[in-house]
Amino acid sequence: MSTHSSRLAARIMVAPSVVLLFIWMAVPLAMTLYYSFRLYRLLSPDRTGWVGFNNYLWFFNSPEFWLALWNTLALVGGVLVVTVVLGILIALLIDQPVKGQGLLRILVIAPFFVMPPVAASIWENLFMHPQNGLFAALARGFGAQPILFLENHPMLSVIGIVSWEWLPFATLILLTSLQSLSSEQLEAAEMDGASAFNRLRHIILPHMTRAITVVILIQTIFLLGIFGEIFTTTQGGPGSASTTLPYMIFKQAIAAKDIGRAAAGGIIAVILANIVAYFLMRGIGRHLDA
Amino acid sequence: MARAVSPRRRMFTTIAAWSVALIIFFPVLWMILTSFKTEASAVASPPELFSADWTVENYVEVWSRSDYPRFFWNSVVISLGSTLLGLAIAIPAAWAMAFVPGRRTKDLLMWMLSTKMMPAVAVMIPLYLLFLRLGLIDTRIGLVLALMLMNLPIIVWMLYTYFKEIPGEILEAARMDGASLPKEILYVLTPIALPGIASTLLLNVILAWNEAFWTIVLTTTKAAPLSAFIASFSAPQGLFYAKLSAASTLAIAPILILGWFSQKQLVRGLTFGAVK
Amino acid sequence: MGKITLKHVNKSFGDVAVIPDINLSIEDGEFVVFVGPSGCGKSTLLRLIAGLEDVTSGQIDIDGTDATYLPPAKRGLAMVFQSYALYPHMTVRKNIAFPLKMAGLPEDEQEKKVQNAARILNLTNYLDRRPGQLSGGQRQRVAIGRAIVREPAAFLFDEPLSNLDAALRVTMRQEITELHQSLKTTMIYVTHDQVEAMTMADKIVVLNAGNIEQVGSPLELYHRPANLFVAGFIGSPKMNLIAGAAAQAQGATTIGVRPEHLDITDSGPWRGVVGLTEHLGSDTFLKVTLDSGEALTVRAGGEVALRHGDRIALAPQAGKIHRFDADGKAMA
């Protein structure tokens, strides 16, 4: 519904965004693809050449890779489950008539605004630290041995930290959705004799489907790239116990200075992200009315 | 869902909700409390909720004895700069998509969002090398560009959902009234969409401020913002807990306050308008 | 001046021709109403004239010069939108002055024209308010004010009254008609409401599926509908259309009789049973089901005492029967 001139104008106006994003995405991706087939080690810069799929094979043959892949999926999945489930429960709770709702919401949303390195360092030092952390003090108070969170349960600890960061986001979106549910619907269901559980199951949860999908989509986008929290706390360790795919690539590039291998890892990460994105977009496409 | 509830139930939910909220907020609270303790009291066993001799010494020290002001200033410049630049590029694009939609507009939006799904590490090395070649490593302008591009899809999409709620007739009226395209955007669209533009700005300032990958990869010292500074802040065996807490509190305080003021708009923005 | 001529105007979206081929001439100073059911292309036609859409082929002349490819601002036309399209962030004064500001007029002249328009439209006391603080009727007047100050060659109205309540609609209808009489500027007015068309227009253009069904004065359309579509669209309640034996008796495929042209008389040829009766006070509308199965609407006097189930006989008034051939065209 427009004229030739406005359509022309529209193309010109979209062009900078599209061109910039294309360059931002395509040029590095093409370079990564190129490097992934090259021998390229910063420690031995004079030995270069094509190596075929060797860089990829190195990944597939490395037990660390499969662990990292598992850790990545466990991190995304674990955080999603924790935040969505707790998010629904908390949203239901603070949607009730509660005194001081405004202040309450401010407290609940706070972790979302804490930058990842700070969040990680609070948890690492003030809470999980085996000597000076609050958890250790608590354990000692009960006469128990302090739990070595980051040493013995590194992945669970990271999932816990990241869940804490994202829980407010999930809660807030689910709460917003909950508040848009008309009370008449619930009253009608109550008149029809539906129990609290049935109202939750047949009216409230279906109403929140869209919000839940949005939470999953947005969080997945950010969770696939989780880096700062691991960098600050476990550095991927102990050993490789909490190494995710992004962190493994980072290690190859920065510690091992093997650009070729890191590039191959990057391509694998892109493929993984695309697989996840494909399923997500198919799910979300219906809900995001673009 | 304001419904009649008994006072007893109301009291129960109030207690439950406040307990949950305090548990969620506690780590932040604990950090803030620790930042006012002496280093000795910060690692005291058993822990002290309030320090007997609380002090602002940690803040004074962090601010004056380190390069903290520089990191802070870098954060301000980088997050504001990248967001403003992103808005300048995204407003025309969102105008085009919202008011002159074509058959491929939806695909274009999905493609833009999909660039966000690409893991940053995958393109870390080439980008590092490109930035090195262009002399942008450890420069503010380099980080402004990187974070602008990182958040551009979100900015475009947020603006698009806000613009789509503005009736196209108003822009057509402006066109009939003789406004050229730049004037139409400047005098009519932008003022009407100001609330939406403001919340887009806020959210993206927050995202840029808290970004901790590109800031670590693309800076060393000169242009490093707070996120890079905190990430590399090692706290050997709790000797600097109070100072670490003070530095951390300073790093998140501006964003925490900004976020609290704008939480309603943020929800709408982050869901791309998909949840009302 | 505001003479607008459309020559073989065609508008297609992809393969779909929304407007296949329209030729129309609008004289200077005329009040022309485009009327038709929703989706008939009347709004699209208006937007083509405004320049908010491109014609796919054909030519639009404004005052004798080809305006087909001129941008909206260069056509010298002003438009009043269905939603009023007021700028919510500007005061009434700034809204009305906006086209003048865009034209680069000095501020004192802008103010003079705004004051003048405000006086005509009774908006003087509201100049410093924002659109959000005005009632529907006042918003409508601001939209008209914004159009007036430009002194356009023609005004375009796109269903401007459809967002108002019934009482206000009648008032605004009269105000717009009076405005036309005092300004004597060409006005093109789009509506789906045939009452608006009948009461306001010098010339009505009846559109259906992108084609012009008939052009004429309101009474021409009422008395001499060119085809079944116009016959059924113009007039309230609708004209009764009867096919079958009664029509064949008149040598036509279909005949039409308006409800006000049916008399209740014992000698009438059409017999039937009264169904629904609607008492409006001044008139009574009867739904009568004929023995042959057709349902007719009859307008009777306000005092008629017929009830549900009564048997009556109806007679069409002489010379008031419209005859249509198999293609739906009116027969002489």
User: Which of C33, C36, C147, C39 is CA-nearest to residue C99?
Assistant: C147
Nearest to C99 among B178, B188, B191 (CB): B178
Contacts of C176 (CB under 8 A, 6+ apart): C144, C157, C160, C187, C189, C200
Residue numbers of B between 255 and 274 with CB closer than 8 Å to A: 255-256, 258-260, 263, 266-268, 270-272, 274
According to DSSP, the β-strands at C186-191 and C31-35 are parallel
B70 touches C: beta carbon within 8 Å? no
User: Which of A23, A242, A36, A231 is CA-nearest to residue A151?
Assistant: A242
**pLDDT at residue B121, as a whole number:** 79
Domains C4-230 and C237-324 share a fold: no
**pLDDT at residue B36, as a whole number:** 87
> CB neighbours (10 Å) of residue B79?
27
* Residues of A whose CB is below 8 A from C71: 3, 5
Domain residue limits, chain A: 53-288
> H or E segment at C190?
strand C186-191
Contact B275 A122 (CB under 8 A): no
User: Which of C38, C39, C42, C1 is CA-nearest to residue C24?
Assistant: C42
Contact B176 C77 (CB under 8 A): yes
**pLDDT at residue B51, as a whole number:** 66
Name the DSSP class of B219.
Answer: -
Thinking of the domain C237-324, which architecture would CATH place it in?
Beta Barrel (2.40)
Distance CA C196, CA C184 (A): 19
* Residues of B whose CB is below 8 A from A32: 122-123, 125-126
Distance CA C85, CA A183 (A): 34
B43 touches A: beta carbon within 8 Å? yes
Check pLDDT > 50 for residue A1.
no
* Residues of B whose CB is below 8 A from C102: 177-179, 183
Check pLDDT > 90 for residue B265.
no
Q: What angle do CA B207, B211, B216 make, to 5 degrees?
A: 165
Distance from CA of C72 to the nearest CA of A (A): 10
* Residues of C whose CB is below 8 A from B182: none
**pLDDT at residue B234, as a whole number:** 56
Per residue in C50-80, pLDDT tens? Answer: 999 889 999 999 998 999 888 888 888 999 9
Contacts of C230 (CB under 8 A, 6+ apart): C206, C213, C214, C221
**pLDDT at residue B269, as a whole number:** 65
Prediction pTM value: 0.83
Q: Would you say the C-alpha torsion C97, C101, C105, C108 has a positive or negative sign? A: positive
What mean pLDDT is predicted for residues A281-287?
64
Percent of chain B with pLDDT over 70: 89
Lowest mean pLDDT among A26-35, B64-73, B149-158, C112-121: B64-73
Lowest mean pLDDT among B44-48, B166-170, B192-196, C159-163: B44-48
Six-digit token string for A202: 């047949």
Give the gyration radius of chain A's Cα atoms.
Answer: 24
Q: What is the mean pLDDT of chain C?
A: 90
**Domain B67-232 adopts which CATH fold?**
MetI-like fold (1.10.3720)
Lowest mean pLDDT among A185-199, C11-25, C198-212, C287-301: A185-199
Can you list the pairs that A233-237 forms with residues at least 24 positions away whose Cβ atoms lie under 8 Å?
A: A233/A120, A233/A121, A233/A123, A233/A124, A233/A150, A233/A154, A233/A157, A233/A158, A233/A161, A234/A150, A234/A154, A234/A157, A234/A158, A237/A154
What mean pLDDT is predicted for residues B232-237?
56
**pLDDT at residue A164, as a whole number:** 94
Helical H segments across B165-225, by residue range: 168-176, 181-183, 190-192, 194-210, 214-218
User: Which of C145, C311, C42 is CA-nearest to residue B173?
Assistant: C145
**pLDDT at residue B258, as a whole number:** 83
Q: Which of the two residues, B239 and C175, has the higher pLDDT score?
A: C175
Query: In angstroms, how far is CA C35 from the centroid of its own chain?
Result: 4
Lowest mean pLDDT among A38-42, C142-146, C280-284: A38-42
C-alpha pair distances (Å), C36 with each of A37, A164, C60: 67, 60, 21
B252 touches A: beta carbon within 8 Å? yes
Check pLDDT > 70 for residue A54.
yes
Contact C87 B188 (CB under 8 A): yes
C53 touches A: beta carbon within 8 Å? yes
**pLDDT at residue B237, as a whole number:** 46
What mean pLDDT is predicted for residues C237-249?
86
Percent of chain A with pLDDT over 90: 12
**pLDDT at residue C225, as a whole number:** 93
The pLDDT-based confidence of C297 (bands split at 50, 70, 90) is very high
**pLDDT at residue C113, as a whole number:** 93
The pLDDT-based confidence of C221 (bands split at 50, 70, 90) is very high
Per residue in C189-199, pLDDT tens? Answer: 999 998 999 99
Contact B263 A172 (CB under 8 A): yes
Check pLDDT > 70 for residue A46.
yes
ipTM over 0.85: no
The amino acid occupying position A21 is L
Q: Which CATH number fits domain C4-230: 1.10.260.40, 3.40.50.300, 3.30.300.130, 3.30.830.10?
A: 3.40.50.300
Distance from CA of B42 to the nearest CA of C (A): 53
The pLDDT-based confidence of A290 (bands split at 50, 70, 90) is very low
**pLDDT at residue A189, as a whole number:** 80
**pLDDT at residue C212, as a whole number:** 93
Thinking of the domain A53-288, which architecture would CATH place it in?
Orthogonal Bundle (1.10)
Q: What is the mean pLDDT of chain B?
A: 83
Six-digit token string for A21: 């994003």
Write phi, then psi, for C106 (nearest 5 degrees).
-60, 150
Distance CA C296, CA C311 (A): 14
Percent of chain C with pLDDT over 90: 54
Per residue in B81-128, pLDDT tens? Answer: 999 999 999 999 999 999 888 888 888 888 887 787 777 877 888 888
**pLDDT at residue A76, as a whole number:** 92
Query: CB–CB of B268/B199 below 8 Å?
Result: yes
In this structure, the dihedral spanned by the alpha carbons of residues C29, C35, C41 and C47, taken in order and rounded to 10 degrees, is 30
**pLDDT at residue A226, as a whole number:** 85
Query: In angstroms, how far is CA A137 from the centroid of its own chain?
Result: 30
The pLDDT-based confidence of A149 (bands split at 50, 70, 90) is confident
Check pLDDT > 50 for residue A34.
yes
In this structure, the dihedral spanned by the alpha carbons of residues C53, C58, C63 and C66, taken in order and rounded to 10 degrees, is 90
Distance CA C91, CA B17 (A): 45
B186 touches C: beta carbon within 8 Å? no
Helical H segments across A153-244, by residue range: 154-179, 183-191, 196-199, 205-223, 228-232
Contacts of C257 (CB under 8 A, 6+ apart): C239, C240, C242, C296, C316, C320, C321, C322
**pLDDT at residue C58, as a whole number:** 92
Contact C89 B167 (CB under 8 A): no
Which residue of chain A is at minimal alpha-carbon distance from C71? A5
* Residues of A whose CB is below 8 A from C51: 3
Domain residue limits, chain C: 4-230, 237-324
Write phi, then psi, for C159 (nearest 5 degrees).
45, 55
B182 touches C: beta carbon within 8 Å? no
Domain residue limits, chain B: 67-232
B176 touches C: beta carbon within 8 Å? yes
**pLDDT at residue B82, as a whole number:** 95
The pLDDT-based confidence of B1 (bands split at 50, 70, 90) is very low
Per residue in A84-118, pLDDT tens? Answer: 999 999 998 888 877 787 788 888 888 988 888 88
